[in-house]
Structure 1
């Protein structure tokens, strides 16, 4: 199935082409790799910036989300917030943005996100998504300071069924400003992913909007990673509009906040260290926004749960 309004890779390719045209203004570097792939450095050797991160995030969502910067006066110490909204949140967040493609080659490792995943369909998640993309070019976003090596480019080309010169890789490390923006812009995506883990019917989620404070980047990877995760876990706010009964909407609202996790209550960097750097040992239910609002629009009922934790944000974001 391919929704006529939802050509994930085609949309992302247009965003990437716009970034290339605006490379100087965005302070990004554009080049071609040894296999002909397009490389867009948004924060490794390039300085990058907030606008580059916003466009990275929209490309990661396959063009089905709007990502913007706004002022949030509720959190006076962190007045800048990243806001994400989508009228096709399942496709935008799970079909494209989720960093679910484990990519490794020799000493190189990165988690791939973006609409190229919808062509490769190598993840179990796609067993629950009926959408199938077809495109002559593909876009992949990598949270890393290094461009992919030729062996990994070849792996992506084989999985997507495209020539290597038709691939575009957008990359920026966590420690960069663009990297920080595109990670915090996953505030809506983590809510969708957790809803899926909770077995809420994805076809019943029809609209989503989220916001999270934008922390300052930090040169230390562990600190930077902790800040971006804590911005969502302790400062993220998401509203979902769902079909179905008020009872189902209430149940989702009660289980969706990060406070429902056993690992909630400590800075993420501390949790990560305690589990010896093993992401998979951390309770997956922790990766969700601090506060959620679920509206059952067929009945007119709205339910709220969780809450933003200023004390934890103070401890982590500085």
Structure 2
């Protein structure tokens, strides 16, 4: 296929680079011509940078905004996400499914560069791939990648380094915080995919999650942002098809279907020796999932929130 996801993301990335000063992001040109954009490591990139970063991660196929909310009576912003292209925006682009591990650098790789690399089984199963001339990726990391990281991505995607842009933000930053917590719909979609549900039945998705306070360090940020999704997010999916399959699969989708539900994410992360890929994959889900069946008009809700845990995690 042509590079539709990458093309859309690259266009929005050009907008971000054109307003780098205003958005408080810092582009760095590497020796091989690649551009690495600091979105929160050595610069206080803010709200607008985080919202654009999240849209790039979704290949600009979703709308993301901050809305007012409360947590245990305390005012708190919430991140609201909506998309009419849940498979493309969430599974084929936003999902952090590419483990970038080069020398001493490690990051969770997401964004449309994944569709160009096709290193994950997901692309084979969903019969999707892209061969773009340019690509952009989003890395959740607390250090900037060097030439070796770009070379790995170049080799996997077949794209020359000078046509690669990497956007980097740690969870302990405003932009990184927003980028991670904008994944409420994505976690629901990926859980459905892992449970062998026909994700093409999903016609649209909407989700909200509390915006965690920015943590003082990357590890604490990982805990807070994941707790936000696991214990405070609510997702609505508009689907087609029969009701029986929704009633059957529904209880397995929210985070309370995992045995470790009820523990702060940081505790679970430490038990897994700080390896995301060693954690029970069923845990990575929204707190609540609503299915609205477009064919029958029926709605089904599953899951539960834990606002007391969130209050403790956020330091309220």
Fold conserved between structures, TM > 0.5: yes
Alpha-carbon distance, 1:204 to partner? 1.1
Q: Is 2:191 the counterpart of 1:194?
A: yes
Q: Which runs of 5+ in 2 are unaligned?
A: none
TM-score (norm 2): 0.95
Question: CA distance change for structure 1 residues 75 and 84 in 2, over 3 Å: closer, same or farther?
Answer: farther
Matched, 1:226 2:196: no
1:290-309 residue pairs with structure 2 within 5 A?
A: 290-309=287-306
Deviation of 1:73 after TM superposition, in Å, equals 4.3
Residue 206 of structure 1 deviates from its aligned partner by 1.5
Write the distance in 2 (CA, Å) between the matches of 1:275 and 1:54.
30
Q: CA separation in 1, counterparts of 2:303 and 2:240?
A: 21
Poorly superposed stretches of 4+, deviation over 6 Å: none
The offset of 1:124, in angstroms, is: 1.1
Q: 2:15 and 2:65 mapped to 1: Cα distance? A: 16
Q: Residue 35 of structure 2 aligns with which residue? A: 38
Q: Is the 8 A contact 2:226 2:265 kept in 1?
A: yes
Measured after TM superposition, the shift of residue 277 of structure 1 is 2.2
What TM-score results when the alignment is normalised by the length of structure 1? 0.95
Q: Which runs of 5+ in 1 are unaligned?
A: none
8 Å CA contact 1:64–1:87 kept in 2: the answer is yes
- Match for residue 132 of structure 1? 129
Q: Is the 8 A contact 2:136 2:166 kept in 1?
A: yes
Aligned residue in 2 for 1:80: 77
Establish whether residue 207 from structure 1 lines up as the match of residue 204 from structure 2: yes
The answer (yes or no) to whether the contact 2:71–2:307 under 8 Å persists in 1 is: no
For residue 74 of structure 1, report the CA deviation from its aligned partner. Answer: 6.5
Deviation at 1:149, TM superposition (A): 1.6
Q: How many residues align?
A: 315
1:129: how far off? 1.7
Deviation sequence 1:116-172 (CA, Å, 0-9, x none): 110110111111122232322100100112222211211211211111110010001
User: Alignment partner for residue 163 of structure 1, among 151, 160, 163?
Assistant: 160
For residues 120 and 219 of structure 1, the distance between their equivalents in structure 2, rounded to whole angstroms, comes to: 34
Q: Which stretch of the first structure deviates more once superposed, 217-226 or 207-216?
A: 217-226
